[in-house]
Structure 1
Amino acid sequence: MTLKEEFATRNFSIYGQWTGILAMILLFALGIANIFTFNVVIIIFCALAFVSAFVIVFIEIPLLLRICPTSATFDAAIRKISTNYTRALAYAVMGTVQFLSIIGRPTSLIAGAVVLIIAALFYALAGIKGQAFVGSKTLGGQGVAQMIV
């Protein structure tokens, strides 16, 4: 299934997954862009943006859990975030944390927070509509990990 065909399925979990990947890239870039400030609060939120980006990589690309050396505790925690509702909650929490970055001063980290909230909304919509979670084949879902290992 191509990426175009995946988007044509109108499954909100696919939209959430790709929005999550966009959020991960954005959080990493904005974390780098804002970490060179002299505001300690902003530096802390940049570090939290890096942590969020790291967690999103493992949530959205399940193949990495098989090939990267991580602890069993970390793997178990990431595997718990497997349904649409748990993903929506995880993204909402990460988005809320990034929105709190305005405590220091408003920065571009807010853009990452907005994209995280949009991903949470996509996953919540998938859960409300009763759509099963469908991982993108492009990102290692739906049997790709089993084919490689």
Structure 2
Amino acid sequence: MGILNNIGEEFKTRNFSIYGQWTGILCILLCIAVGIANIFHVSLILIFSIICLCTGLILIFLEIPFLLRICPTSKVFDDTIRKFHSLWGRAAFYLTGALVQWLSLTVQSTSLIAAAVLLTLAGLFYAAAALKGQEFMGSKTLGGAGVAQMMV
């Protein structure tokens, strides 16, 4: 019950970055799932599905910063991920990923549209937080703001 209380309290803050982070967690799951599901297409959708899968894997490290500490990654990868830790950086990453998945519709309509919608939503949440001048608020359930601050 403690975890649900924490999440409930976080959503009550009306900080758009927390909405973005939790939508980002859903994006991770969805991008990996639809990336794998569409990888078996024998068309240009294959490229979009690989990009979606890679986006989901990168989002794991962006949204759960504690993993940068415990997973063996290169300094170049860590530095690249750190570039997206600001609200505007996160919004740009999500909206760019969304744009790529929206472009997949020019080839064929697939379940990648679900990833496009969710990535767009997460990007808009982070952009709203940045526009409102809100500070990034990391979820305590996912490692907390203290861990996120150590990574930046």
Residue type of the partner of 2:27?
A
Does residue 17 of structure 2 align to residue 23 of structure 1? no
Residue type of the partner of 1:83?
S
Kindly tell me the number of residue pairs found equivalent between the two proteins: 146
Q: Superposed, which structure 2 residues align to 1:8-87 within 5 Å?
A: 8-39=12-43, 41-87=44-90
CA distance in 2 between counterparts of 1:4 and 1:139 reads 14
CA distance in 1 between counterparts of 2:32 and 2:9 reads 28
In the TM superposition, residue 144 of structure 1 has moved relative to its aligned partner by: 4.7
Q: Which runs of 4+ in 1 moved over 3 A?
A: none
RMSD over aligned CA atoms reads 1.7
Does residue 120 of structure 2 align to residue 117 of structure 1? yes
Does residue 125 of structure 2 align to residue 139 of structure 1? no
* 1:95 alignment partner in structure 2: 98
Where does structure 2 lack aligned partners over 5 or more consecutive residues?
none
TM-score (norm 1): 0.92
1:50-84 per-residue CA deviation (whole Å, 9 max, x = no partner) reads: 11001100000000000000000000110111111
Where does structure 1 lack aligned partners over 5 or more consecutive residues?
none
In the TM superposition, residue 38 of structure 1 has moved relative to its aligned partner by: 2.0
CA distance in 2 between counterparts of 1:144 and 1:13 reads 16
Residue type of the partner of 2:92?
L
In the TM superposition, residue 100 of structure 1 has moved relative to its aligned partner by: 1.1
TM-score (norm 2): 0.91
CA distance in 1 between counterparts of 2:145 and 2:7 reads 14
